[in-house]
């Protein structure tokens, strides 16, 4: 029978055998899969694992610094790369959701390629691919890797994509990845994190992105997500986040008329993200959260709660 401890033992010795004294590059995202893959590889090859964690400027509030510190505390050889300005510059003025995704995908590849060139003589690219990703990428429409390559079909592949690929989690389902992570002592809070999309807050800011909109949404999102944790609701929800709508509405503050932004909160139950149901959060929680957001976040005067299921409404609004 499969146990996480046995998986760790076997995989670590296989990785040692396969990789020897070679250098390996791995992109960390802050998510469960890349973190578990990194810790496994670190156990096998130590400092020869070079982790790269890119800040695209579209992460949650304080996320980059706090996750980076956590990675360092785990002993990983990790480099944090702040590329926020580069991403936000390239996104400026773009309204179309798919074009925003493409820009983010392309800039990520450029930044990651630049960084991987700094690791001399790297032989391997490690990825936190899990079994459902493997299935998805062989499906007829092409999965994430197909999309990545389409961004870069001018001038051939970036150099890091020519490295040999090592994917220690490719036979595992998500719950097995979490169990493997737990058996290696990874913080349960990190292992229990909600999914977060690669393009981050870019697809939760409807329309064009500005640094000001990003910081408004980071504040709103932090109040919502921290509230879920304080109320013991976080683990009952599969994914949660806030959307900044391209809508201003009228409000009053004191004797003044305001004309400010509206945010939508979304919390869903799901097993794999393919279908989802909105979560029946307690009214008291929604009431408190809405008041906190409107009182604390300048520029927002209205909060709505999304009560749409998927299908047809996707989890993200873009
Ligand atoms: P939707 O919005 O399609 O989302 O119902 C389903 C799941 O996928 C995530 N998602 C993405 N993840 N890149 C990602 O890495 C993307 O472009 C992207 N779009 C959606 C979403 O957060 C949810 O978990």
Complex ipTM more than 0.95, yes or no: yes
pLDDT of residue 155: 63
What six digits make up the tokens of 286? 């929604």
Name residues contacting ligand 1 (CB within 6 A).
101, 195, 197-199, 203, 239, 273, 310, 314-316
- From ligand 1's centre to the CA of 105, what distance in Å? 14
Domain 204-305 top-level CATH class: alpha beta
Give per-residue pLDDT as tens, 239-274.
999 999 999 999 998 899 999 999 999 999 999 899
Residues 6+ apart with CB under 8 A from 86: 107, 111
- From ligand 1's centre to the CA of 289, what distance in Å? 24
Residue of 124 and 157 predicted with greater confidence:
124
Assign 136 a pLDDT band (cuts: 50, 70, 90).
confident
pLDDT of residue 137: 76
Going from the C-alpha of 256 to that of each of 183, 250, 252, 253, the distances in angstroms are: 57, 10, 6, 5
Least Cα distance to 296 among 222, 239, 237, 214 occurs for 222
Cα angle, residue 145 at apex, residues 142 and 151 outer, rounded to 5°: 100
Tell me how far apart the alpha carbons of residues 134 and 168 are, in angstroms, rounded to a whole number.
Answer: 12
Q: How is the chain split into domains, by residue range?
A: 4-191, 204-305
Sheet holding 49-55, edge to edge: 78-82, 49-55, 23-28, 122-126, 164-166
Q: For a substitution probing ligand 1, which of 137, 196, 197 has the most ligand atoms within 8 Å of its CB? A: 197
pLDDT of residue 139: 58
Average pLDDT, the chain: 94
> What are the φ/ψ torsions at residue 143 (nearest 5 degrees)?
-100, -155
34 annotated to a ligand binding site: yes
Q: Average pLDDT, stretch 103-128? A: 97
What six digits make up the tokens of 291? 């008041």
Selected from 3.40.50.620, 3.30.56.10, 3.40.50.300, 3.10.20.30, the CATH number assigned to the domain covering 4-191 reads 3.40.50.620
Give per-residue pLDDT as tens, 69-79.
999 999 999 99
Please check whether the two domains, 4-191 and 204-305, share a CATH topology.
no
Q: Average pLDDT, stretch 191-200? A: 96
**Per-residue pLDDT for 151 more than 60?**
no
Q: Whose CA is nearest to atom 4 of ligand 1?
A: 315
Q: Average pLDDT, stretch 281-296? A: 98
- From ligand 1's centre to the CA of 316, what distance in Å? 6
| Percent of the chain topping pLDDT 70 | 94
In three-state secondary structure terms, 193 is coil
CB of 32 closer than 8 Å to CB of 177: yes
Assign 143 a pLDDT band (cuts: 50, 70, 90).
very low
Q: Prior bond to 311 cis, omega within 30?
A: yes
Q: Which long-range contacts (CB under 8 A, 24 or more apart) does 221-225 make?
A: 221/60, 221/61, 222/60, 222/61, 222/62, 223/289, 223/292, 223/293, 223/296, 223/297, 224/265, 224/289, 224/293, 225/60
35 annotated to a ligand binding site: yes
pLDDT of residue 150: 46
Give per-residue pLDDT as tens, 69-110.
999 999 999 999 999 999 999 999 999 999 999 999 999 999
Q: Is 81 left (phi over 0), alpha (psi -120 to 50) or beta?
A: beta
**Per-residue pLDDT for 154 more than 70?**
no
pLDDT of residue 282: 98
């Amino acid at each position: 029978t499969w146990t996480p401890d046995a998986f760790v033992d076997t995989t670590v010795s296989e990785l040692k055998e396969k990789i020897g004294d070679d250098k390996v590059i791995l992109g960390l995202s802050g998510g469960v899969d890349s973190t578990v893959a990194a810790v496994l590889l670190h156990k096998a090859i130590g400092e020869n694992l070079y982790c790269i964690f890119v800040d695209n400027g579209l992460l949650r509030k304080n996320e980059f610094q706090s996750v980076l510190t956590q990675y360092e505390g785990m002993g990983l050889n990790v480099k944090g790369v702040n590329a926020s300005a580069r991403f936000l510059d390239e996104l400026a003025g773009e309204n179309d959701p798919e074009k925003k995704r493409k820009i983010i995908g392309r800039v990520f590849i450029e930044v990651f390629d630049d960084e991987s060139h700094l690791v001399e003589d790297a032989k391997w690219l490690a990825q936190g691919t899990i079994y459902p990703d493997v299935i998805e990428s062989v499906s007829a429409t092409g999965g994430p890797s197909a999309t990545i390559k389409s961004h870069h079909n001018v001038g051939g592949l970036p150099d890091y994509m020519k490295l040999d690929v090592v994917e220690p989690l490719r036979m595992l389902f998500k719950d097995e990845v979490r169990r493997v992570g737990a058996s290696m002592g990874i913080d349960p809070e990190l292992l229990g994190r909600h999914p977060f999309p690669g393009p981050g807050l870019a697809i939760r800011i409807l329309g064009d992105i500005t640094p000001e909109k990003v910081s408004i949404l980071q504040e709103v999102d932090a109040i919502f997500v921290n509230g879920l944790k304080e109320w013991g609701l976080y683990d009952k929800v599969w994914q949660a986040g806030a959307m900044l709508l391209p809508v201003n509405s009228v409000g009053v503050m004191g004797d003044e008329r305001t004309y400010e932004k509206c945010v939508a909160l979304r919390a869903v139950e799901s097993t794999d993200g393919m279908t989802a149901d909105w979560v029946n959060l307690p009214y008291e929680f929604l009431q408190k959260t809405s008041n906190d957001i409107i009182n604390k976040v300048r520029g927002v005067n209205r909060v709505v709660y999304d009560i749409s299921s998927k299908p047809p409404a996707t989890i993200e609004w873009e």
